Chains A and B, each alone.
Chain A
Amino acid sequence: MSELDLRPVPCTDDPDTGGFWEAAARGELAIRVCSDCGQVLHLPKAYCHGCGSWNTAWQVVAPTGTLYSWTTTERELRPGFVPPYTIVCVELDDAPGVRLVGYLDGRPQLESGMPMSATFEVAQGGVVIPQWQPA
Protein backbone atom coordinates (compact mmCIF):
# COMPACT_ATOMS: atom_id res chain seq x y z
CA MET A 1 0.00 0.00 0.00
CA SER A 2 1.44 3.38 -0.95
CA GLU A 3 1.18 6.55 1.11
CA LEU A 4 -1.37 7.85 -1.38
CA ASP A 5 -3.67 4.96 -0.56
CA LEU A 6 -3.71 6.09 3.07
CA ARG A 7 -4.97 9.56 2.25
CA PRO A 8 -8.58 10.19 3.16
CA VAL A 9 -10.94 10.88 0.28
CA PRO A 10 -13.74 13.41 0.41
CA CYS A 11 -17.36 12.53 0.85
CA THR A 12 -18.70 13.31 -2.64
CA ASP A 13 -22.42 12.70 -2.23
CA ASP A 14 -23.41 15.19 0.43
CA PRO A 15 -26.56 17.09 -0.67
CA ASP A 16 -24.97 20.46 0.12
CA THR A 17 -21.48 19.98 -1.30
CA GLY A 18 -21.71 17.07 -3.77
CA GLY A 19 -22.00 19.32 -6.83
CA PHE A 20 -18.43 20.52 -6.25
CA TRP A 21 -17.13 16.97 -6.57
CA GLU A 22 -19.39 16.19 -9.53
CA ALA A 23 -17.86 19.17 -11.34
CA ALA A 24 -14.37 18.04 -10.34
CA ALA A 25 -15.07 14.62 -11.88
CA ARG A 26 -15.70 16.48 -15.16
CA GLY A 27 -12.46 18.41 -14.74
CA GLU A 28 -14.20 21.63 -13.75
CA LEU A 29 -14.33 23.93 -10.74
CA ALA A 30 -17.82 24.92 -9.65
CA ILE A 31 -19.19 27.09 -6.86
CA ARG A 32 -22.72 27.13 -5.53
CA VAL A 33 -24.66 30.32 -6.22
CA CYS A 34 -28.20 31.53 -5.63
CA SER A 35 -30.25 31.28 -8.82
CA ASP A 36 -32.43 34.19 -7.78
CA CYS A 37 -30.02 36.85 -6.52
CA GLY A 38 -26.60 35.58 -7.56
CA GLN A 39 -25.22 35.41 -3.99
CA VAL A 40 -22.20 33.12 -3.82
CA LEU A 41 -22.82 30.35 -1.26
CA HIS A 42 -19.42 29.21 -0.07
CA LEU A 43 -18.83 26.94 1.75
CA PRO A 44 -21.65 25.40 -0.31
CA LYS A 45 -25.12 25.38 1.21
CA ALA A 46 -28.67 24.96 -0.05
CA TYR A 47 -30.26 28.11 1.41
CA CYS A 48 -29.48 31.66 0.28
CA HIS A 49 -29.07 33.92 3.28
CA GLY A 50 -29.11 36.90 0.91
CA CYS A 51 -32.65 36.62 -0.45
CA GLY A 52 -34.15 33.61 1.32
CA SER A 53 -34.27 31.46 -1.80
CA TRP A 54 -33.77 27.71 -1.92
CA ASN A 55 -33.10 27.85 -5.68
CA THR A 56 -29.39 27.37 -6.19
CA ALA A 57 -27.11 26.21 -9.00
CA TRP A 58 -23.52 25.12 -9.52
CA GLN A 59 -21.65 27.72 -11.57
CA VAL A 60 -18.49 26.72 -13.38
CA VAL A 61 -15.59 29.10 -12.71
CA ALA A 62 -12.13 29.47 -14.21
CA PRO A 63 -9.56 27.11 -12.66
CA THR A 64 -7.29 30.01 -11.77
CA GLY A 65 -6.63 32.06 -8.67
CA THR A 66 -4.07 33.79 -6.48
CA LEU A 67 -2.28 32.51 -3.39
CA TYR A 68 -3.90 33.84 -0.22
CA SER A 69 -1.74 31.93 2.28
CA TRP A 70 0.12 28.68 2.78
CA THR A 71 1.93 26.55 5.35
CA THR A 72 4.62 23.92 5.03
CA THR A 73 4.05 21.14 7.56
CA GLU A 74 7.18 19.47 8.91
CA ARG A 75 5.57 16.92 11.25
CA GLU A 76 3.49 13.88 10.43
CA LEU A 77 -0.04 14.56 11.59
CA ARG A 78 -1.95 11.87 9.75
CA PRO A 79 -0.90 8.76 7.82
CA GLY A 80 -0.75 9.38 4.09
CA PHE A 81 0.73 12.86 4.39
CA VAL A 82 4.50 12.51 4.64
CA PRO A 83 6.27 15.71 5.72
CA PRO A 84 7.39 18.04 4.48
CA TYR A 85 4.27 18.99 2.58
CA THR A 86 2.56 22.27 1.84
CA ILE A 87 -1.06 23.35 2.03
CA VAL A 88 -2.04 26.29 -0.14
CA CYS A 89 -5.11 28.47 0.22
CA VAL A 90 -6.12 29.99 -3.11
CA GLU A 91 -8.59 32.77 -3.84
CA LEU A 92 -10.49 32.25 -7.10
CA ASP A 93 -10.08 34.80 -9.89
CA ASP A 94 -13.72 34.48 -10.90
CA ALA A 95 -15.09 34.74 -7.36
CA PRO A 96 -13.18 37.16 -5.14
CA GLY A 97 -13.33 36.05 -1.52
CA VAL A 98 -13.99 32.42 -2.43
CA ARG A 99 -11.06 30.24 -1.42
CA LEU A 100 -10.11 26.58 -1.75
CA VAL A 101 -7.16 24.64 -0.39
CA GLY A 102 -4.72 22.35 -2.14
CA TYR A 103 -1.82 20.02 -1.35
CA LEU A 104 1.74 20.25 -2.72
CA ASP A 105 4.66 17.94 -2.01
CA GLY A 106 7.68 19.34 -0.21
CA ARG A 107 8.60 22.98 0.41
CA PRO A 108 7.80 24.87 -2.79
CA GLN A 109 8.89 28.51 -3.10
CA LEU A 110 5.69 30.53 -2.78
CA GLU A 111 4.69 34.18 -2.52
CA SER A 112 1.47 35.80 -1.40
CA GLY A 113 -0.61 36.86 -4.38
CA MET A 114 1.17 34.67 -6.92
CA PRO A 115 -1.00 33.18 -9.71
CA MET A 116 -2.15 29.62 -9.18
CA SER A 117 -3.92 27.16 -11.43
CA ALA A 118 -6.03 24.12 -10.65
CA THR A 119 -5.24 20.57 -11.66
CA PHE A 120 -7.48 17.57 -11.24
CA GLU A 121 -5.95 14.66 -9.36
CA VAL A 122 -7.46 11.20 -9.47
CA ALA A 123 -7.35 9.87 -5.93
CA GLN A 124 -8.13 6.54 -4.36
CA GLY A 125 -11.28 4.93 -5.73
CA GLY A 126 -11.31 7.24 -8.74
CA VAL A 127 -12.41 10.31 -6.77
CA VAL A 128 -11.24 13.48 -8.53
CA ILE A 129 -9.77 16.15 -6.25
CA PRO A 130 -9.02 19.68 -7.47
CA GLN A 131 -5.45 20.64 -6.57
CA TRP A 132 -3.47 23.87 -7.00
CA GLN A 133 0.00 24.68 -8.27
CA PRO A 134 1.88 27.85 -9.17
CA ALA A 135 0.71 28.92 -12.62
Chain B
Amino acid sequence: MTTRDLDHRDRCAIVGAGRTDYSSRSGRSVLSLATEASLAAIADAGLEPNDVDGIVRCDFDVVAHNDLAHALNLPNLSYWGASGPGGSAPSGMMAQAVGAILSGQATTVLVYRSMNGRSGFRLGKGRLQGQAGAIGGNGSYEEFFVPYGLVSPGQMWAMLAQRHMHTYGTTQEQLGHIAITCRERANANPNAQMATRGLSLDDYLSSPIISTPLRLPDYCLETDGACAVVVTSAARSVDTDKPPVLIRAIAQGAVQGMQPGLASPALMREDPLSLPSVTVAKRLYQRAGMGPEDIDVAQFYDCFTITVLVQLEDYGFCQPGEGGPFAASGAIGKGGSLPINTSGGNLSDGYIHGMSHIVEGVLQMRGESTSQVPDAETCLVTSGLPIITGAMILRKAA
Protein backbone atom coordinates (compact mmCIF):
# COMPACT_ATOMS: atom_id res chain seq x y z
CA MET B 1 0.00 0.00 0.00
CA THR B 2 1.15 3.51 -0.69
CA THR B 3 0.60 6.42 1.65
CA ARG B 4 -2.12 7.59 -0.69
CA ASP B 5 -4.01 4.36 -0.18
CA LEU B 6 -3.88 4.81 3.58
CA ASP B 7 -5.02 8.39 3.88
CA HIS B 8 -8.51 9.82 3.80
CA ARG B 9 -7.86 13.06 1.95
CA ASP B 10 -10.86 14.07 -0.21
CA ARG B 11 -12.15 10.47 -0.21
CA CYS B 12 -15.42 11.17 1.61
CA ALA B 13 -17.98 13.93 1.29
CA ILE B 14 -20.83 15.49 3.16
CA VAL B 15 -23.82 15.19 0.88
CA GLY B 16 -26.62 16.36 3.14
CA ALA B 17 -27.02 18.73 6.09
CA GLY B 18 -30.04 19.49 8.22
CA ARG B 19 -31.10 21.30 11.34
CA THR B 20 -34.20 21.99 13.36
CA ASP B 21 -35.28 25.38 14.56
CA TYR B 22 -33.25 26.55 17.54
CA SER B 23 -35.13 27.77 20.59
CA SER B 24 -35.05 28.02 24.36
CA ARG B 25 -38.03 25.70 24.72
CA SER B 26 -38.68 23.22 21.93
CA GLY B 27 -41.62 21.55 23.66
CA ARG B 28 -40.53 18.35 21.93
CA SER B 29 -38.54 15.29 22.84
CA VAL B 30 -34.84 15.24 22.05
CA LEU B 31 -35.57 12.16 19.97
CA SER B 32 -38.01 14.16 17.84
CA LEU B 33 -35.39 16.85 17.33
CA ALA B 34 -32.80 14.26 16.29
CA THR B 35 -35.31 12.65 13.94
CA GLU B 36 -36.28 15.93 12.29
CA ALA B 37 -32.67 17.04 11.74
CA SER B 38 -31.78 13.60 10.38
CA LEU B 39 -34.72 13.54 7.96
CA ALA B 40 -33.74 17.03 6.79
CA ALA B 41 -30.15 15.94 6.16
CA ILE B 42 -31.22 12.76 4.34
CA ALA B 43 -33.70 14.69 2.17
CA ASP B 44 -31.10 17.40 1.50
CA ALA B 45 -28.90 14.68 0.02
CA GLY B 46 -31.76 13.37 -2.11
CA LEU B 47 -31.58 10.06 -0.24
CA GLU B 48 -34.04 7.90 1.68
CA PRO B 49 -33.72 6.54 5.23
CA ASN B 50 -33.20 3.11 3.67
CA ASP B 51 -29.92 4.38 2.23
CA VAL B 52 -28.46 5.06 5.68
CA ASP B 53 -26.44 2.15 7.04
CA GLY B 54 -24.33 3.90 9.68
CA ILE B 55 -24.96 6.22 12.62
CA VAL B 56 -22.48 8.13 14.78
CA ARG B 57 -23.51 10.01 17.92
CA CYS B 58 -22.01 12.17 20.66
CA ASP B 59 -21.46 10.48 24.03
CA PHE B 60 -23.45 13.22 25.78
CA ASP B 61 -26.49 12.79 23.53
CA VAL B 62 -29.54 11.36 25.29
CA VAL B 63 -30.58 9.82 21.96
CA ALA B 64 -28.79 6.53 21.37
CA HIS B 65 -28.03 5.25 17.86
CA ASN B 66 -30.67 2.54 18.15
CA ASP B 67 -33.23 5.10 19.39
CA LEU B 68 -32.71 7.14 16.25
CA ALA B 69 -32.61 4.06 14.02
CA HIS B 70 -35.96 3.02 15.50
CA ALA B 71 -37.46 6.46 14.98
CA LEU B 72 -36.32 6.50 11.34
CA ASN B 73 -37.19 2.82 10.88
CA LEU B 74 -33.77 2.07 9.38
CA PRO B 75 -33.70 -1.42 7.90
CA ASN B 76 -30.04 -1.49 6.93
CA LEU B 77 -28.04 -0.30 9.94
CA SER B 78 -24.66 -2.05 9.92
CA TYR B 79 -22.37 0.37 11.75
CA TRP B 80 -22.61 2.66 14.77
CA GLY B 81 -20.17 4.57 16.90
CA ALA B 82 -19.78 7.43 19.35
CA SER B 83 -17.23 10.07 20.20
CA GLY B 84 -16.72 12.55 23.00
CA PRO B 85 -16.56 13.96 25.53
CA GLY B 86 -19.31 16.42 24.73
CA GLY B 87 -18.40 19.32 22.49
CA SER B 88 -15.10 17.80 21.43
CA ALA B 89 -17.07 15.07 19.65
CA PRO B 90 -18.20 16.35 16.24
CA SER B 91 -14.89 16.12 14.37
CA GLY B 92 -14.27 12.73 15.95
CA MET B 93 -17.76 11.63 14.96
CA MET B 94 -16.99 12.63 11.38
CA ALA B 95 -13.69 10.76 11.59
CA GLN B 96 -15.60 7.62 12.58
CA ALA B 97 -17.98 8.06 9.68
CA VAL B 98 -15.04 8.39 7.29
CA GLY B 99 -13.30 5.39 8.86
CA ALA B 100 -16.42 3.27 8.58
CA ILE B 101 -16.88 4.20 4.92
CA LEU B 102 -13.26 3.74 3.88
CA SER B 103 -13.03 0.40 5.67
CA GLY B 104 -16.17 -0.92 4.03
CA GLN B 105 -18.28 -1.10 7.18
CA ALA B 106 -20.84 1.40 5.93
CA THR B 107 -21.63 3.36 2.80
CA THR B 108 -23.84 6.20 4.06
CA VAL B 109 -23.41 7.46 7.61
CA LEU B 110 -25.69 9.78 9.56
CA VAL B 111 -23.91 11.97 12.13
CA TYR B 112 -26.10 13.92 14.57
CA ARG B 113 -26.28 15.93 17.77
CA SER B 114 -29.57 16.68 19.49
CA MET B 115 -30.34 18.39 22.76
CA ASN B 116 -32.89 20.24 24.82
CA GLY B 117 -29.91 22.21 26.04
CA ARG B 118 -31.93 25.08 27.50
CA SER B 119 -35.29 23.68 28.57
CA GLY B 120 -33.80 20.34 29.62
CA PHE B 121 -30.32 19.53 30.86
CA ARG B 122 -28.30 22.78 30.87
CA LEU B 123 -24.63 22.03 30.41
CA GLY B 124 -23.76 25.48 31.76
CA LYS B 125 -24.66 24.31 35.25
CA GLY B 126 -22.17 21.47 35.01
CA ARG B 127 -22.47 17.78 34.39
CA LEU B 128 -22.86 16.96 38.08
CA GLN B 129 -25.77 19.31 38.75
CA GLY B 130 -28.23 17.71 41.11
CA GLN B 131 -25.89 14.90 42.11
CA ALA B 132 -26.21 14.25 45.82
CA GLY B 133 -23.67 12.71 48.16
CA ALA B 134 -19.89 12.76 47.95
CA ILE B 135 -18.60 14.14 44.65
CA GLY B 136 -15.83 12.69 42.50
CA GLY B 137 -13.68 9.60 42.49
CA ASN B 138 -13.44 6.91 39.83
CA GLY B 139 -11.05 8.97 37.74
CA SER B 140 -13.41 11.95 37.43
CA TYR B 141 -11.30 14.11 39.78
CA GLU B 142 -14.38 16.26 40.40
CA GLU B 143 -13.60 16.09 44.13
CA PHE B 144 -10.90 18.69 43.49
CA PHE B 145 -13.31 21.16 41.86
CA VAL B 146 -17.04 20.88 42.58
CA PRO B 147 -16.75 21.17 46.41
CA TYR B 148 -15.09 24.55 45.78
CA GLY B 149 -17.91 25.91 43.64
CA LEU B 150 -16.04 25.26 40.38
CA VAL B 151 -18.91 23.48 38.69
CA SER B 152 -19.21 24.94 35.19
CA PRO B 153 -16.98 25.04 32.10
CA GLY B 154 -17.59 28.80 31.98
CA GLN B 155 -15.74 29.29 35.26
CA MET B 156 -12.76 27.28 34.05
CA TRP B 157 -12.62 29.26 30.80
CA ALA B 158 -12.94 32.49 32.82
CA MET B 159 -9.79 31.51 34.70
CA LEU B 160 -8.00 30.74 31.44
CA ALA B 161 -9.13 34.15 30.13
CA GLN B 162 -7.82 35.82 33.28
CA ARG B 163 -4.49 34.06 32.84
CA HIS B 164 -4.35 34.97 29.13
CA MET B 165 -4.93 38.62 30.10
CA HIS B 166 -2.15 38.42 32.69
CA THR B 167 0.31 36.68 30.38
CA TYR B 168 -0.35 38.50 27.10
CA GLY B 169 -2.23 41.67 27.97
CA THR B 170 -5.44 40.48 26.32
CA THR B 171 -8.36 42.84 27.01
CA GLN B 172 -12.10 42.61 27.55
CA GLU B 173 -12.63 44.72 24.43
CA GLN B 174 -10.74 42.15 22.38
CA LEU B 175 -12.97 39.37 23.67
CA GLY B 176 -15.91 41.65 22.93
CA HIS B 177 -14.94 41.86 19.27
CA ILE B 178 -15.44 38.10 18.98
CA ALA B 179 -18.91 38.31 20.51
CA ILE B 180 -19.80 41.24 18.25
CA THR B 181 -18.51 39.51 15.13
CA CYS B 182 -20.63 36.42 15.82
CA ARG B 183 -23.63 38.64 16.56
CA GLU B 184 -23.22 40.48 13.25
CA ARG B 185 -23.31 37.16 11.39
CA ALA B 186 -26.39 36.12 13.39
CA ASN B 187 -28.07 39.40 12.47
CA ALA B 188 -27.82 38.29 8.82
CA ASN B 189 -29.14 34.80 9.57
CA PRO B 190 -32.93 34.74 10.02
CA ASN B 191 -32.71 31.31 11.67
CA ALA B 192 -30.29 32.47 14.37
CA GLN B 193 -31.66 32.94 17.86
CA MET B 194 -30.02 36.39 17.98
CA ALA B 195 -31.19 37.32 14.46
CA THR B 196 -32.86 40.55 15.56
CA ARG B 197 -30.74 41.57 18.54
CA GLY B 198 -27.74 43.76 17.85
CA LEU B 199 -24.62 44.02 20.00
CA SER B 200 -22.32 47.05 20.07
CA LEU B 201 -19.05 47.33 21.97
CA ASP B 202 -20.82 49.61 24.46
CA ASP B 203 -23.55 47.01 24.88
CA TYR B 204 -20.91 44.37 25.46
CA LEU B 205 -18.95 46.39 28.00
CA SER B 206 -22.09 47.22 29.97
CA SER B 207 -23.49 43.68 29.91
CA PRO B 208 -23.63 41.67 33.13
CA ILE B 209 -20.60 39.79 34.38
CA ILE B 210 -21.22 36.05 34.72
CA SER B 211 -17.82 35.00 36.02
CA THR B 212 -14.96 37.51 35.80
CA PRO B 213 -13.66 38.49 33.32
CA LEU B 214 -16.41 36.94 31.18
CA ARG B 215 -19.73 38.67 30.51
CA LEU B 216 -23.06 37.39 29.28
CA PRO B 217 -22.19 37.82 25.55
CA ASP B 218 -18.96 35.86 26.12
CA TYR B 219 -21.15 32.80 26.78
CA CYS B 220 -22.81 30.62 24.16
CA LEU B 221 -26.58 30.26 23.94
CA GLU B 222 -27.82 27.12 25.62
CA THR B 223 -30.22 25.83 22.99
CA ASP B 224 -32.92 23.31 22.21
CA GLY B 225 -32.27 21.91 18.74
CA ALA B 226 -30.51 19.36 16.60
CA CYS B 227 -28.19 19.12 13.60
CA ALA B 228 -27.29 16.22 11.35
CA VAL B 229 -25.18 15.53 8.28
CA VAL B 230 -24.90 12.60 5.89
CA VAL B 231 -21.46 11.34 4.87
CA THR B 232 -20.65 9.03 1.98
CA SER B 233 -17.69 8.24 -0.24
CA ALA B 234 -16.59 10.87 -2.73
CA ALA B 235 -17.26 8.34 -5.49
CA ARG B 236 -20.88 7.82 -4.43
CA SER B 237 -21.42 11.50 -3.74
CA VAL B 238 -21.72 12.36 -7.42
CA ASP B 239 -25.16 10.72 -7.42
CA THR B 240 -26.65 12.94 -4.70
CA ASP B 241 -28.74 16.06 -5.18
CA LYS B 242 -26.54 18.84 -3.84
CA PRO B 243 -22.92 19.60 -4.71
CA PRO B 244 -20.87 17.31 -2.47
CA VAL B 245 -18.60 18.95 0.08
CA LEU B 246 -15.33 17.07 0.31
CA ILE B 247 -13.78 16.25 3.64
CA ARG B 248 -10.24 17.29 2.87
CA ALA B 249 -8.84 16.06 6.21
CA ILE B 250 -9.80 15.38 9.81
CA ALA B 251 -7.59 15.26 12.89
CA GLN B 252 -8.06 14.62 16.58
CA GLY B 253 -5.54 15.27 19.30
CA ALA B 254 -4.62 15.95 22.89
CA VAL B 255 -2.01 17.76 24.89
CA GLN B 256 1.01 15.76 25.95
CA GLY B 257 0.02 13.58 28.86
CA MET B 258 -3.68 14.04 28.16
CA GLN B 259 -6.13 15.40 30.71
CA PRO B 260 -8.57 13.37 32.77
CA GLY B 261 -12.20 14.16 33.56
CA LEU B 262 -14.10 17.05 32.01
CA ALA B 263 -13.22 20.75 31.67
CA SER B 264 -11.87 21.75 35.09
CA PRO B 265 -8.76 19.50 35.12
CA ALA B 266 -7.37 21.71 32.34
CA LEU B 267 -6.23 23.98 35.17
CA MET B 268 -4.02 21.19 36.47
CA ARG B 269 -2.07 20.62 33.26
CA GLU B 270 1.56 21.65 32.97
CA ASP B 271 0.55 24.75 30.98
CA PRO B 272 -3.19 25.36 31.00
CA LEU B 273 -2.90 27.88 28.15
CA SER B 274 -1.35 25.26 25.87
CA LEU B 275 -4.37 23.51 24.41
CA PRO B 276 -4.92 20.39 22.31
CA SER B 277 -5.77 22.62 19.36
CA VAL B 278 -2.02 23.16 18.92
CA THR B 279 -1.54 19.43 18.33
CA VAL B 280 -4.63 19.12 16.15
CA ALA B 281 -3.74 22.10 13.95
CA LYS B 282 -0.34 20.64 13.11
CA ARG B 283 -1.77 17.20 12.37
CA LEU B 284 -4.71 18.57 10.38
CA TYR B 285 -2.63 20.80 8.13
CA GLN B 286 -0.20 17.95 7.52
CA ARG B 287 -3.00 15.58 6.57
CA ALA B 288 -4.65 18.20 4.37
CA GLY B 289 -1.42 19.32 2.69
CA MET B 290 -2.53 22.83 3.54
CA GLY B 291 -1.74 25.61 5.95
CA PRO B 292 -3.62 28.46 7.58
CA GLU B 293 -2.99 30.58 4.50
CA ASP B 294 -5.17 28.17 2.51
CA ILE B 295 -8.24 28.61 4.72
CA ASP B 296 -10.94 30.89 3.26
CA VAL B 297 -13.47 30.80 6.12
CA ALA B 298 -13.54 29.18 9.57
CA GLN B 299 -16.18 27.88 11.97
CA PHE B 300 -14.49 27.91 15.38
CA TYR B 301 -16.06 26.10 18.30
CA ASP B 302 -17.23 28.99 20.44
CA CYS B 303 -18.59 27.87 23.78
CA PHE B 304 -16.99 31.13 24.99
CA THR B 305 -15.27 34.03 23.25
CA ILE B 306 -11.95 33.14 24.88
CA THR B 307 -12.19 29.70 23.27
CA VAL B 308 -12.17 31.34 19.84
CA LEU B 309 -9.35 33.69 20.79
CA VAL B 310 -6.95 30.88 21.71
CA GLN B 311 -7.84 28.91 18.58
CA LEU B 312 -6.97 31.89 16.37
CA GLU B 313 -3.46 31.44 17.78
CA ASP B 314 -3.40 27.66 17.86
CA TYR B 315 -4.55 27.20 14.25
CA GLY B 316 -1.81 29.55 13.11
CA PHE B 317 -3.74 32.65 12.04
CA CYS B 318 -1.66 34.77 14.41
CA GLN B 319 1.22 34.31 16.84
CA PRO B 320 0.73 32.89 20.34
CA GLY B 321 -0.58 35.67 22.56
CA GLU B 322 -1.75 37.74 19.58
CA GLY B 323 -5.29 36.37 19.47
CA GLY B 324 -6.70 39.51 21.08
CA PRO B 325 -5.24 42.08 18.68
CA PHE B 326 -6.05 39.77 15.74
CA ALA B 327 -9.70 39.48 16.84
CA ALA B 328 -9.96 43.25 17.21
CA SER B 329 -8.30 43.98 13.85
CA GLY B 330 -11.33 43.22 11.73
CA ALA B 331 -9.69 40.10 10.29
CA ILE B 332 -12.46 37.84 11.58
CA GLY B 333 -15.27 40.00 10.20
CA LYS B 334 -17.22 39.44 7.03
CA GLY B 335 -14.77 41.21 4.73
CA GLY B 336 -11.69 40.20 6.70
CA SER B 337 -8.90 37.80 5.90
CA LEU B 338 -10.54 35.05 7.97
CA PRO B 339 -14.31 35.41 8.33
CA ILE B 340 -15.45 33.24 11.24
CA ASN B 341 -18.65 31.63 12.53
CA THR B 342 -20.73 32.80 9.64
CA SER B 343 -24.07 31.55 10.99
CA GLY B 344 -23.49 33.34 14.31
CA GLY B 345 -21.87 30.34 15.97
CA ASN B 346 -22.61 28.93 19.40
CA LEU B 347 -22.54 32.48 20.71
CA SER B 348 -25.37 33.96 18.63
CA ASP B 349 -26.92 31.25 16.42
CA GLY B 350 -27.26 28.31 18.79
CA TYR B 351 -25.22 25.89 20.84
CA ILE B 352 -25.60 22.45 19.33
CA HIS B 353 -22.31 21.37 20.83
CA GLY B 354 -20.21 21.94 17.72
CA MET B 355 -22.44 20.13 15.23
CA SER B 356 -23.92 23.35 13.85
CA HIS B 357 -20.41 24.41 12.83
CA ILE B 358 -20.26 21.47 10.42
CA VAL B 359 -23.66 22.34 8.95
CA GLU B 360 -22.56 25.95 8.41
CA GLY B 361 -19.30 24.75 6.86
CA VAL B 362 -21.32 22.75 4.34
CA LEU B 363 -23.47 25.79 3.50
CA GLN B 364 -20.35 27.91 2.94
CA MET B 365 -18.85 25.33 0.59
CA ARG B 366 -22.12 25.25 -1.39
CA GLY B 367 -22.44 29.02 -1.53
CA GLU B 368 -25.63 28.91 0.55
CA SER B 369 -24.62 30.72 3.75
CA THR B 370 -26.51 33.80 4.88
CA SER B 371 -23.06 35.39 5.24
CA GLN B 372 -21.51 33.80 2.21
CA VAL B 373 -17.79 34.43 1.78
CA PRO B 374 -17.30 35.10 -1.94
CA ASP B 375 -15.40 32.36 -3.75
CA ALA B 376 -14.74 30.43 -0.56
CA GLU B 377 -13.28 27.02 -1.41
CA THR B 378 -12.01 25.81 1.97
CA CYS B 379 -13.53 25.93 5.43
CA LEU B 380 -11.89 25.06 8.74
CA VAL B 381 -14.33 23.55 11.25
CA THR B 382 -13.21 22.96 14.83
CA SER B 383 -14.71 21.09 17.76
CA GLY B 384 -14.72 21.71 21.48
CA LEU B 385 -11.89 22.34 23.92
CA PRO B 386 -10.07 22.08 26.34
CA ILE B 387 -10.10 18.36 27.15
CA ILE B 388 -9.23 16.91 23.79
CA THR B 389 -10.28 18.28 20.45
CA GLY B 390 -10.66 17.70 16.76
CA ALA B 391 -11.00 19.70 13.58
CA MET B 392 -11.50 19.26 9.89
CA ILE B 393 -11.08 21.07 6.63
CA LEU B 394 -13.97 21.01 4.21
CA ARG B 395 -13.42 21.73 0.54
CA LYS B 396 -15.63 22.66 -2.35
CA ALA B 397 -15.64 19.88 -4.93
CA ALA B 398 -13.87 20.93 -8.12
List A residues at the B interface (Cβ < 8 Å).
Answer: 7-14, 16-17, 21, 42-43, 49, 68-75, 77-78, 80-81, 85, 87, 89, 97-103, 112, 123, 129, 131
Contacts and interface: CB of A to CB of B under 8 A. Distances in A.
A112 B138 CA distance: 32
Nearest to B156: A71
A7 B270 contact: no
B210 A9 contact: no
Contacts of A74: 208-212
Given A9-B135, A97-B270, A103 B159 contact: no
Given A17-B136, A43-B268, A8 B125 contact: no
A21 B148 CA distance: 14
Contacts of A98: 268
B320 interface: no
Contacts of B141: 17, 43
27 contacts: A9-B134, A10-B143, A14-B136, A14-B138, A17-B137, A43-B141, A43-B261, A49-B257, A69-B163, A71-B162, A71-B214, A72-B212, A73-B210, A74-B208, A74-B209, A77-B155, A78-B125, A78-B126, A80-B149, A87-B149, A87-B150, A89-B267, A97-B270, A98-B268, A101-B148, A103-B149, A131-B148
B149 A10 contact: no
A118 B199 CA distance: 42
A87 B143 CA distance: 14
A7 B143 contact: no
B265 interface: yes
Contacts of A17: 136-137, 141, 143-144
Instruction: State the 5 A-B residue pairs at the shortest beta-carbon distance, nearest first.
Output: A10-B143, A14-B137, A11-B137, A71-B158, A81-B149
Given A8-B131, A11-B136, A14-B143, A73 B149 contact: yes
A101 B147 CA distance: 10
Contacts of B264: 101
Interface in B195-245: 208-214
B159 A87 contact: yes
Nearest to B164: A69
A10 B214 CA distance: 27
Contacts of A87: 148-150, 155, 159
A11 B148 contact: no
- Chain B contact patch, size range: 35 or more
Given A13-B137, A103-B149, 12 more contacts: A7-B147, A10-B147, A11-B136, A16-B137, A43-B261, A69-B163, A70-B162, A73-B149, A74-B210, A77-B125, A97-B270, A101-B150
A100 B152 CA distance: 16
Nearest to A132: B148
B273 to A, nearest CB: 10
B135 A72 contact: no
B145 interface: yes
Interface of B: 124-126, 128-129, 131, 133-139, 141, 143-152, 155, 158-160, 162-163, 166, 208-214, 257, 260-261, 264-265, 267-268, 270, 272
B160 A69 contact: yes
B152 A77 contact: yes
A42 to B, nearest CB: 6
A9 B150 CA distance: 13
A8 B147 contact: yes
Contacts of A112: 162-163, 166
Contact of A78 (B133, B134, B138, B151): B151
A24 to B, nearest CB: 11
Contacts of A49: 257
Contacts of A71: 155, 158-159, 162, 211-214
Given A43-B141, A71-B155, A10 B136 contact: yes
Contact of B143 (A11, A70, A77): A11
B126 A101 contact: no
Contacts of B160: 69
Residue of B124, B143, B155, B267 contacting most chain A CB atoms (<10 Å) = B143
Q: Which of B124, B144, B151, B270 has the most CB of A within 10 A?
A: B144
Nearest to B270: A97
Contacts of A72: 209, 211-212
Contacts of B138: 14
Given A8-B131, A78-B151, A87-B149, A101 B137 contact: no
